[in-house]
Amino acid sequence: MSKVMSSESWQADKRHWMHPWTHFDSFKDEGSLMLTRAKGARLWDEQGTSYFDAVGGLWCTNIGLGREEMAETIAEQVREMAYANPFVDMSNVPAAQLAKKLAELAPGDVNRVFYSCGGSTAIDTAFRLVHFYQNCRGKPAKKHILARKGGYHGSTYAAMSITGKSGDKIPEFDYIQDTIHHLSCPNPYRAPAGMDEQQFCDFLVDEFKQKVAELGADKIGAFFAEPILGSGGVIVPPEGYNCRIWELCQENDILFVADEVVTAFGRVGHWFASEDLFGVQPDIITCAKGLTSGYLPLGATLFSDRIYDVIATGDADRYFASGYTYSGHPVACAAALKNIEIIERENLLSRVVEVGAYFEQRLQTLRDLPLVGDVRGKRFMMCVENVADRNTKQLLPDELNIGKWISDRAEQNGLIVRPIVHLNVMSPPLTMSRKDVDFVVDKLGAAIEHTYHDLQKEGLI
Ligand code: PMP
């Protein structure tokens, strides 16, 4: 997603900003796409070219950018009180009101909120909370963590250790390894040959049981999972999987941590996907992104009264020795409250259910194109997987970077879709209309066809 520009800012960026996740080599040649303006799902670059952002920033611009009301709310809070110390016994009104609102929206007895600065720190907090809880209740051996291959949980040391995306676990970094275990990715498209979805689900459940038996339930503190895996490939697990694993967690006294950094706040048509889509009541939920729709950075770790009662009772000297200068930042919390109000007022959740069905149905038509192996996802969280051979599902060589090839072609036609190796991922603002859906699907289809011809012309397929 880049094009050579020559402005002073573009040069400054290239010279000084080391971007997250950037390949040093291609960045050296290509630099970045320098964006300057946004309205709804539309972005403009420095040269005035406009794009429809089907990625919604990074799965986060849920209400769409450029809303006057958000600007007003943020400005007002800055004038009133731009910062407040959140430690110990200091508080602020937006953070308290937001905590109450989140408790109302969250499932079950998930009524407690710990604020952080984004998704990774929300996961980090969940990880530390698991330790804290198990120690407080006198079960210090219960520290092992179960997660899945393909899961993405963020970029801090703990979050990246829990992450199970092999491509992201580069050897130049170290990870916690001895206490974190990755089970199979619940991707029905890549189920072992000959297994139907139900058999695959049984297989995953058996694998979970075996792992518990192998490590011992008395050693396992928590299971971390995205209800729908996001950057691991928009993977909706087989029918019944989330709920059956949750039941096993309950039976074995293992905390269920739902990483809803992507799936919460409307992305799949619900405030939280765990309960509404999958019938799961997690013990801990992490969220960020759609919490403020990207207007300001904010993360939250929500957890149950049951956990709170354990950690807050007993030792009078005990305190949760963790937290950030910007925990419960009043401006970010005011933005989150307004963002939630807008989602409610504009009925964006029902809109996602309705337009999402159309998006799914229209995207499925791309299955007829060459290269397209799978089209999957749920509502406003969708993905196309590109393959060399649709029958064998064999992938193209990684070096071809097929997702990037396609997204570059799409970008030339005014559409931004996110490339992740073999995939093109979409998570548009919840305001996307049917007309926008047609635009996205038509442009993506054209980009795939164009890329196919490129590959043929270059003798690469
Ligand atoms: N969890 C999930 C499921 C995510 O998708 C992400 C970010 N893409 C994170 C955690 C980390 O969030 P952040 O980048 O805000 O730290």
- pLDDT of residue 5 exceeding 80: no
What the block records as the tokens of 271 is: 């405030």
Question: Are residues 198 and 137 part of one domain?
Answer: yes
Rg of the chain, C-alpha, whole Å: 22
Backbone torsions φ then ψ of 394, nearest 5 degrees? -65, 140
Per-residue pLDDT tens over the stretch 297-341: 999 999 999 999 999 998 889 999 999 999 999 999 999 999 999
Question: Are residues 310 and 363 part of one domain?
Answer: no
Question: Are residues 54 and 72 part of one domain?
Answer: no
Contacts of 68 (CB under 8 A, 6+ apart): none
Does residue 13 lie within any of the structural domains?
no
Q: How far is the CA of 285 from the centre of ligand 1 (A)?
A: 13
pLDDT score of 285: 98
In whole angstroms, give the CA distance from residue 2 to residue 53: 14
pLDDT score of 27: 86
Per-residue pLDDT tens over the stretch 396-426: 999 999 999 999 999 999 999 999 999 999 9
Question: Are residues 103 and 50 part of one domain?
Answer: no
Question: Are residues 363 and 268 part of one domain?
Answer: no
pTM: 0.97
Q: How confident is the model at residue 26 (pLDDT cuts 50, 70, 90)?
A: confident
Q: Which one of 262, 295, 301 would you pick to mutate in the ligand 1 pocket, going by the greatest count of ligand atoms within 8 A of its CB?
A: 262
Residues 105/272, Cβ–Cβ less than 8 Å: yes
pLDDT score of 30: 84
| Boundaries of domain holding 304 | 68-345
Does residue 309 lie within any of the structural domains?
yes
pLDDT score of 242: 98
- Ligand 1 atom closest to the Cα of residue 260 is 3
pLDDT score of 316: 85
Domain boundary among 345, 371, 394: 345
Does residue 435 lie within any of the structural domains?
yes
Mean pLDDT confidence for 441-448? 98
Mean pLDDT confidence for 184-189? 98
Structural domains counted in the chain: 2
- Residues whose beta carbon lies within 6 Å of some atom of ligand 1: 58, 118-120, 123, 152-155, 226, 230-231, 259, 261-262, 288
Per-residue pLDDT tens over the stretch 76-130: 999 999 999 999 999 999 999 999 999 999 999 999 999 999 999 999 999 999 9
Q: How far is the CA of 58 from the centre of ligand 1 (A)?
A: 9
Backbone torsions φ then ψ of 114, nearest 5 degrees? -120, 120
Q: What percent of the chain has pLDDT over 70?
A: 99
pLDDT score of 203: 98
DSSP H or E segment with residue 443: helix 434-457
Q: How far is the CA of 370 from the centre of ligand 1 (A)?
A: 32
Question: Are residues 118 and 49 part of one domain?
Answer: no
Does residue 25 lie within any of the structural domains?
no
- Ligand 1 atom closest to the Cα of residue 120 is 16
Mean pLDDT confidence for 428-441? 98
Does residue 207 lie within any of the structural domains?
yes
Question: Are residues 173 and 185 part of one domain?
Answer: yes
CATH of the domain at 227: 3.40.640.10
- Pair type for strands 180-183 and 220-225: unpaired
Residues 224/147, Cβ–Cβ less than 8 Å: yes
Backbone torsions φ then ψ of 99, nearest 5 degrees? -60, -40
In whole angstroms, give the CA distance from residue 455 to residue 435: 30
Per-residue pLDDT tens over the stretch 29-45: 888 999 999 999 999 99
In whole angstroms, give the CA distance from residue 200 to residue 176: 29
In whole angstroms, give the CA distance from residue 176 to residue 209: 23
Question: Are residues 378 and 330 part of one domain?
Answer: no
Does residue 5 lie within any of the structural domains?
no
- pLDDT of residue 1 exceeding 60: no
pLDDT score of 6: 77
Label residues 424-450 b or e (16+ Cβ within 10 Å = b). Answer: bbbbbbbbbeeebbebbbebbbbbbbb
Q: What is the DSSP letter of 390?
A: T
Sign of CA dihedral 263, 146, 282, 131: negative
In single-letter form, the type of residue at position 266 comes to: G
Question: Are residues 271 and 399 part of one domain?
Answer: no
Question: Are residues 428 and 365 part of one domain?
Answer: yes
**Backbone dihedral region for residue 39 (phi beyond 0: left; psi -120 to 50: alpha; all else: beta):** beta
CATH of the domain at 54: 3.90.1150.10
What the block records as the tokens of 185 is: 């990715």
Domain boundary among 281, 316, 345: 345
pLDDT averaged over every residue in the chain: 96
Q: Which one of 117, 125, 153 would you pick to mutate in the ligand 1 pocket, going by the greatest count of ligand atoms within 8 A of its CB?
A: 153
Per-residue pLDDT tens over the stretch 263-289: 999 999 999 999 999 999 999 999 999
Report the complex ipTM: 0.99
Neighbouring-strand partners of residue 39: 42
Query: Concatenated DSSP letters for 35-94?
Result: EEEEEBTEEEETTS-EEEETTHHHHT-TT-B--HHHHHHHHHHHHHHS----STT---HH
- pLDDT of residue 174 exceeding 70: yes
- pLDDT of residue 3 exceeding 70: no
Q: How far is the CA of 261 from the centre of ligand 1 (A)?
A: 6
Cα distances from 75 to residues 67, 69, 307, in angstroms, run: 12, 10, 37
Q: How far is the CA of 154 from the centre of ligand 1 (A)?
A: 5
Does residue 187 lie within any of the structural domains?
yes
Q: How far is the CA of 460 from the centre of ligand 1 (A)?
A: 34
In whole angstroms, give the CA distance from residue 301 to residue 12: 36
pLDDT score of 31: 87
Question: Are residues 371 and 224 part of one domain?
Answer: no
- Ligand 1 atom closest to the Cα of residue 289 is 15
Domain boundary among 327, 345, 363: 345
pLDDT score of 23: 87
Q: What is the DSSP letter of 331?
A: H
Q: What percent of the chain has pLDDT over 90?
A: 95
User: Nearest 5 degrees, angle CA 303-CA 127-CA 425?
Assistant: 90
- pLDDT of residue 262 exceeding 70: yes
pLDDT score of 52: 98
Does residue 18 lie within any of the structural domains?
no
Label residues 124-150 b or e (16+ Cβ within 10 Å = b). Answer: bbbbbbbbbbbebeeeeebbbbbbbbb
In whole angstroms, give the CA distance from residue 209 to residue 234: 25
- pLDDT of residue 259 exceeding 50: yes
Question: Are residues 291 and 357 part of one domain?
Answer: no
